[in-house]
Amino acid sequence: MIKTENLYFAYPSEGASHDVLKGLDISIAQGEFVAVLGHNGSGKSTLARQLNALLTPTKGTIWINGKDTKSLDHLWEIRQTMGMVFQNPDNQLVATVVEEDVAFGPENLGVPPDEIRKRVDETLKTVGMEAFALSAPHNLSGGQKQRVAIAGVLAMHPDCIVLDEPTAMLDPSGRHEVLNTIARLNKEGITIILITHFMEEAVLADRVIVMHEGEVVLDDIPKKVFSQVDTMKGYTLSVPPVTDLAHTLRRAGLNLGDSIMTVDEFIEDETVRKLLPKKTNQFAAVSPAKTVPFTQESTPAIEIKNLSHIYSPDSVFEMRALEDISLTIHQGEMVALIGHTGSGKSTLIQHLNGLLHPTSGHVFIEGEDIQSDKSKLKSIRQKVGLVFQYPEHQLFEASVYNDVAFGPSKMNLTPEEIDTHVKEALATVGLGEEYYQKSPFELSGGQKRRVAIAGVLAMRPKILILDEPAAGLDPKGRDEILSQIKHMHETLGITVILVSHSMDDAARLTDRIIVLNKGKLLYDDTPAKVFGQAQNLQSIGLDIPQISKLAARLGEINPAITSDIFSMDELAARILDLVGKGGLVS
């Protein structure tokens, strides 16, 4: 139903020499589920906008059901056939009531009122949002908003839905909601084109198209695409962790199948079955309990005592956001704070620099109660740097340098001191002199974010709190930001609190994980111990790393593999170790 022929495209503002799409020949049949992968700037989103004629080719042709997108006669028919769902749920809902928003598309098409009513009711039911028909969009969660957006497209009765990173701004449970909806629609015969950075999502598709520098470099079923681990990494894309593990083991000489993408497939692999016969093993007791290498110094960096916070107390909107939280974070520690949306994470971190005040309880920063003296708030905020989610949204100055200087200039420093603060902070995030005079608004997403983080670092905080620092970035951007944070922690010796939805990131970067659920402290332990609670974590809407899931399943077969393993290297080493000891190398 979709066919592109020698498709070239360049944005007029950038000149014809900057082709964003370079000669694409893609054809997609009715009912297919296609995932499109590629790092930022690979041309994925541009392709999506071509498919429903929001943009038209500078050279070549696209046919949608045999109709040329360049011909204006078919414009509305093509847009009706090819529904589009965008990344930011807030910026695509038009009306103030859910059902009115779903009606927006059919209304534009001139569908008769009775028929619109019918379609609205039907589609809201399809996406499971019928109970919210009369709600206001701003009171919904991200996942719910995206489902309303999907309903709005569905009500136009499209043949195909193109989704441009629909889950990038959602938490794990929102992501599940949206993916389940998409998969169900595909079963009902709707063609799905899913643009994504998440490999776990691409695995669900029938076909994966990988784009790089405006060209299609891989186009095959997921198994075939992901088996080319090195090629994918060459395009700065990752593969699912289990696939990566299988690849590593294969390279170490084990004869594993080359198309393993899920935990189930790994477990059912013949070689794995043969290598890990069920037996009780003396290794069972050897669990690599990590010791927390912190000696208790005199004053902890942060001490929270019986902290509770209630929003709008004694009103109809009263909400208990935090209940009786007590914890201690030592100087130089790096901890992860985890919980799903609404668990109280954001409320908690805003107490640590006095943006919110406890309803009851106390917060001590380096031994000082931050509520005791209001005049000290300024110095507390300098000591505790807080980087909010999507911090690039707070940039405002005309140049990178001036923006980073905003914080230090409020600290009664001499101009020379401000200058060193700014330069060091920018150097720490890897932005050199050539960026000083650039406007922050012309940088890439990842660079903007680094400027914003530098803006906080320039105040030389002793404690750095980052709320989802990698959210919405592509895999390459994620890795860069996270490794820089790790680097900062190690070289500058600052205490770091990393707030995240991602268990993978938490496990990779920290030695201690704090889990919040419904405003209460649920776990505070090493990653190994926390991931050992797989079922509990999943029941409160959190995901555990794919490797942990695999380790737990393998542990059922062979107890030598304990469920507290969460890193790929560790699991690979353990398997190879076992295989070597058992002398079972095939």
Partner 1 sequence: MTRIVIGQYYPSNSVIHRLDPRIKLLGIMFYITALFFVTNFIGYGVAAVFLLVMVKIAKVPLLFLFRGLRTILFILCFAVILNLFMTPGENVIFAVGFLRLTMEGVYMAGQMAARLVLLITGSSILTLTTSPIQLTDGVEALLKPLKIIKVPAHDIAIMMTIALRNIPTLAEEMDKIMKAQKARGADLDTGGLIKRAKSLLPILIPLFVSAFKRADELATAMEARCYRGDMGRTRMKVMKIAKPDILALAVLAIYGTLLFLTRLL
List residues binding partner 1 (CB under 8 A): 49, 52, 54, 76, 79-80, 83-84, 86, 88, 90-97, 99-100, 103-113, 116-117, 120, 136-139, 152-153, 156, 311, 317, 319, 321, 347, 350, 353, 355, 378, 381-382, 385-386, 388, 391, 393-396, 406-407, 410-411, 441, 455-456, 459
Beta strands 191-195 and 33-37 are parallel
Phi, psi values for residue 208, rounded to 5°: -120, 130
For partner 1, the closer CB: 88 or 228: 88
For partner 1, the closer CB: 481 or 554: 481
For partner 1, the closer CB: 403 or 543: 403
Compute the least distance from the CB of residue 162 to partner 1, in Å.
9
What gap in Å lies between CA 215 and CA 38, rounded to an integer? Answer: 10
What gap in Å lies between CA 16 and CA 43, rounded to an integer? Answer: 15
For partner 1, the closer CB: 18 or 410: 410
For partner 1, the closer CB: 171 or 524: 171
What gap in Å lies between CA 543 and CA 533, rounded to an integer? Answer: 11
Compute the least distance from the CB of residue 242 to partner 1, in Å.
35
What gap in Å lies between CA 85 and CA 101, rounded to an integer? Answer: 14
What gap in Å lies between CA 145 and CA 102, rounded to an integer? Answer: 11
Q: Residue 158: CB partners within 8 Å, gap ≥ 6?
A: 80, 81, 82, 83, 190
Compute the least distance from the CB of residue 153 to partner 1, in Å.
7
For partner 1, the closer CB: 137 or 143: 137
Compute the least distance from the CB of residue 230 to partner 1, in Å.
37
For partner 1, the closer CB: 117 or 476: 117
Compute the least distance from the CB of residue 318 to partner 1, in Å.
11
Compute the least distance from the CB of residue 349 to partner 1, in Å.
10
CA nearest neighbour of 390 among 446, 347, 437? 446
Task: Spell out a b/e string for 509-541, using b for 16 or more CB atoms within 10 Å of the CB, else e.
Answer: bbbbbbbbbebebbbbebbbbbbbbbeebeebb
Compute the least distance from the CB of residue 402 to partner 1, in Å.
11
Q: Is the C-alpha dihedral spanning 486, 492, 495, 496 positive or negative?
A: negative
Which residues face 329 on adjacent strands?
302
Compute the least distance from the CB of residue 487 to partner 1, in Å.
22
Spatial contact of 302 and 329, defined as CB atoms under 8 Å apart: yes
Compute the least distance from the CB of residue 7 to partner 1, in Å.
19
For partner 1, the closer CB: 261 or 380: 380
For partner 1, the closer CB: 38 or 354: 354
φ/ψ region of 541 (left if φ > 0, alpha if ψ in -120 to 50, else beta) reads left
Compute the least distance from the CB of residue 555 to partner 1, in Å.
41
Compute the least distance from the CB of residue 412 to partner 1, in Å.
10
For partner 1, the closer CB: 344 or 527: 344
What gap in Å lies between CA 479 and CA 470, rounded to an integer? Answer: 8
Measured at the alpha carbon of residue 565, what is the angle toward residues 564 and 566, in degrees to the nearest 5? 110
Spatial contact of 307 and 323, defined as CB atoms under 8 Å apart: no
For partner 1, the closer CB: 111 or 550: 111
CA nearest neighbour of 51 among 27, 32, 20, 87? 27
Distances (CA, A) of 458 to 375, 379, 382, 405: 22, 14, 10, 7
Rg (CA), the chain: 26
SS3 content of the chain, % helix, strand, coil (to 5): 45, 20, 35
Compute the least distance from the CB of residue 373 to partner 1, in Å.
16
Distances (CA, A) of 519 to 139, 309, 346: 20, 9, 10
For partner 1, the closer CB: 321 or 575: 321
